[in-house]
Homo-oligomer: A and B are copies of this chain.
């Protein structure tokens, strides 16, 4: 198969996100890395891109320069990844979509709901793909869970319970460290801290597996380290359009949890459980029956789960390959295959609406508020 051409904005030297995207995009040999504006400092970005093997004329000094350069080429990139600071996602994504490029945007896609709705409209109008990197949803066993729910294997979903909690910001003596501090400062992080950072992954996952959308929610935010203006711990109760009850806890002060992202889905005839630290297993209990372990790579998995496994049963596949799965889906989608598991701009704007709803609810002592963007009501 012919490889697609890929470019990246952001992800400069020393960032963690850059290597993750390069590994994800290149692991399966579906893309060639041919263009980049990797740093906000033009010379440094150009030099780094060159070192990574990008031709000099496609090693750009900034995203505007890249947009100009690429739009006029016959061999223009098929996909651009936007991995810049959060507040710039909207502007860059919008510009590339409007110029006819497919985009993979890091989360959060935008800072406001209105911006998000605009991206959705532009993607619709241009017919281009705007994906958002909710990469946890691309683990094979998460796809298996979604397929089982759709297939009725646990009956109508009653309840979803999800957590995304870690303790990496739990050290108050480290709270002023700039790498930590910006997340709790509204000037840099926006309206929400931990919920916007990690909670929206869990909320997306709930919708993704339950195959339903969050309708309204009630939130309780806390800044357990008092110097923080934004929350470092949040509980969100929600209801989905189909009536499902939801519970979501997220924290960055849960010392001892390294990456405690898990989800439980309870239906009329069974329950499922998945945890990001053991991503290759899915736990299934039929009502009245015994708990069973479903393994990545075993025979008889649903198609999407099978397609996204690379190596044999019980050979673990991890986070970088979940990102790679997003790129696989993108390559297929660009080639015209329906990849309905791929998270898109609609997911991005729903997250943003949920963030603003949670902030509003928390301010009003947990009052229940509408959680959907107006275009999806």
Contacts and interface: CB of A to CB of B under 8 A. Distances in A.
Interface of A: 1, 3, 16, 19-20, 22-23, 26-29, 33, 51-53, 154, 158-159, 161, 165-168, 170-172, 218, 220, 222, 224-225, 233, 235, 237, 245, 247, 249, 251, 253-259, 264, 266-268, 270-273, 276-280, 283-288, 290-295, 298-299, 310-321, 365-368
Contact of A314 (B158, B170, B233, B259): B259
A235 B366 CA distance: 13
Given A26-B27, A290-B293, A316-B319, A20 B266 contact: no
Most chain-B Cβ atoms within 10 A of its Cβ — which of A172, A288, A367?
A288
A29 B320 CA distance: 14
A254 B233 contact: no
Contacts of A280: 318
A224 B276 CA distance: 27
Contact of A172 (B1, B268, B295, B316): B268
B284 A256 contact: yes
27 contacts: A16-B311, A16-B312, A22-B29, A23-B28, A29-B52, A158-B225, A159-B233, A161-B254, A167-B285, A168-B313, A171-B288, A235-B247, A247-B249, A253-B266, A254-B266, A254-B271, A255-B270, A256-B264, A256-B283, A277-B314, A290-B298, A291-B293, A311-B319, A315-B319, A320-B321, A365-B368, A366-B368
Nearest to A285: B256
Contacts of A272: 256
